[in-house]
Amino acid sequence: MERSAALKDLALAEGFDLVGIAAAGPSATSVHLDAWLAAGRHGGMGYMAASADERSDPRRLLEGCRSLIMVGMSYRSSLPDSTDHPADRRVWVSRYAWGRDYHRLLKSRLLRLGRHLERRHPGCAWRAVVDTAPLLEREWAARAGLGWIGKSTMLLNRRLGSELFLGALLTDLELEPDRPVTDHCGRCTACLDACPTGAFREPYVLDARRCISYLTIEHRDEIPRELAPAMADMIAGCDRCNEVCPWTRRAPADLHPELAPAAHRHRPLLAELETLDEEGWRSWRRGSPLGRIPFPQLRRSLAVARANLEQRRPSDSDP
């Protein structure tokens, strides 16, 4: 218990907001993942199916893994809406991408935590994991007591809501696990009701093929005609289910200056993005987590946003 408490203190000192420990073993939700994949709800994310076996047990990521130190970091920002141009000339980039690339930030802190661990316990094995590795991080975060998986399929914390970056440090050390927390969604269905495309077939089940985050970030083909109007001005992700969640709405903001939003990625002007060439797009997104969006896909999403915004103001020809 002392070893576990010391590691938690180190994680908090590294700047993480949440830390908990789970005992390694088989995933409890892999059966649901298999059913989700069998139903085709992963869409074009073939890597999800290809790595399903690895995702079923963290011991496949680190031989001899006995414990997972799960961490969470809030990215909630109170940055106000821009007022120098009308909203119908701007497009939406998801909040998670307003600031610097969280993969690098979390990974560097987890690596430092791993080195602390090794200095205190020479010879121990460990591996730092962010969401690019095949780990069901929301399940393990819930098992470590960081929160619960809500009806939106996001991890929810009573203090910090759902706008959280998650990471894990896997180790072969045996640590004292934390207790999971109970589900506090209650009868609320705000996230399900707010989804513009009806991507939630039922509580706790997301059909990625209808999710705007999937359509703008992962989907490489044309946007289905019936879903395009619901995308509105969104070109990189969607925050509707987070924004309406009561736990998220009351969560504190601006906890991390190092994640402060870059001004050009908050409500950018559609016309300015339309002037970018491929090199300009690489420069615009540099330092952000938007590297998964290739230039042709950006152009496709901008065209959808242009059509939707012009539909809102048919008499206004000013871009």
- Give me the numbers of helices (H) and strands (E) for the chain, helices first please: 13, 10
101 an active-site residue? no
Q: What is the pLDDT of residues 43-91, one digit of tens each?
A: 999 999 999 999 999 999 999 999 999 999 999 998 655 556 676 789 9
Beta-bridged to residue 68, according to DSSP, are 22, 170
Mean pLDDT of 94-120: 96
132: confidence class by pLDDT, cuts 50, 70, 90: confident
Q: Which amino acid is at 241?
A: C
Question: What is the rounded CA–CA span in Å between residue 284 and residue 272?
Answer: 11
The pTM (predicted TM-score) of the whole model is 0.93
Q: Does residue 220 share a domain with residue 117?
A: no
What is the pLDDT at residue 123?
96
Q: Are residues 167 and 194 in the same domain?
A: no
Rounded to the nearest 10°, the torsion over CA 100, 106, 108, 109 is 130
* Residue 93 included in any domain: no
CB 214 within 8 A of CB 224: no
Domain count of the fold of the chain? 2
- Catalytic residue (one of 101, 131, 183, 254): 131
Q: Per residue in 149-182, pLDDT tens?
A: 999 999 999 999 999 999 999 999 999 999 999 9
**pLDDT exceeds 50 at position 316:** no
For 204, what's the count of Cα atoms within 13 Å in the CB-facing half-sphere?
11
Task: Report the distance separating Cα 123 and Cα 64, nearest Å.
Answer: 13
19 and 151 assigned to the same domain: yes
pLDDT digits (tens, 9 = 90+) for 187-200: 999 999 999 999 99
**pLDDT number for residue 319:** 39
Residues 145 and 269 in one domain: no
Look up the domain containing 260 and give its range.
190-312
Quick one: 145 and 43 in the same domain? yes
Task: Give the pLDDT of residue 317.
Answer: 42
Instruction: Report if residue 88 sits inside a domain.
Output: no
Residue 293 lies in a domain: yes
pLDDT of 264 above 80: yes
Q: Does residue 134 register a pLDDT over 80?
A: yes
